[in-house]
Amino acid sequence: MAFGNGLEDTGDSEMSEINMIPLVDIMLVLLIIFIITVPVVTHTVKLDLPRATNEPNVVPPRSITIAITADGEVHWDKESVDESRLIANLEAVAKQDPQPEVHVRGDRRVEYERVIKVMAAAQQAGLNKLGFVTSPDD
């Protein structure tokens, strides 16, 4: 016969303590990982790396506007040009580094074929940055 203290454990009571063993296991594993990786980080080859300045490009990219009027006349930055002069200007601009952006402004009444010819001339000259200028609807 066993003598008890009056508090008998019937097995129905719930455990009121937190099990610390899994927490201790995880902490020991993390400690071992940190002990192994710290020497790798601190013992590296000493190098005198070059310094670089990260200055933004303050010069905005140059853009050229080619306007095509309703009667099919072509203007290069507000100057009227014929087809041969347009091709010569496009070839000269294509050789620049960096290439400027070419903005095509076509009148809404101009024939679409005329705009396509200007775009084809720009593409044949080697220009890559070509865009249309439009106005928002009122």
d(CA 4, CA 48): 76
For domain 63-132, the CATH architecture is 2-Layer Sandwich (3.30)
pTM, two decimal places: 0.55
Beta-carbon-side half-sphere exposure of residue 137 (alpha carbons within 13 Å): 0
Domain layout of the chain by residue ranges: 63-132
Instruction: Note the pLDDT of residue 120.
Output: 92
Q: One digit per residue, pLDDT tens: the chain, 138 residues?
A: 455 555 555 556 676 788 899 999 999 999 999 888 887 767 677 777 778 777 776 677 788 999 999 998 999 988 999 999 999 999 999 998 888 899 999 888 888 889 899 999 999 999 988 888 888 765
Burial bucket for residue 67 (CB in 10 Å: 0-12, 13-18, 19+): buried
Please give the torsion angle defined by the CA atoms of residues 118, 121, 123 and 129, in that order, rounded to the nearest 10 degrees: -50
Q: What is the pLDDT of residue 28?
A: 96
Alpha-carbon gap, residue 68 to 121, rounded angstroms: 14
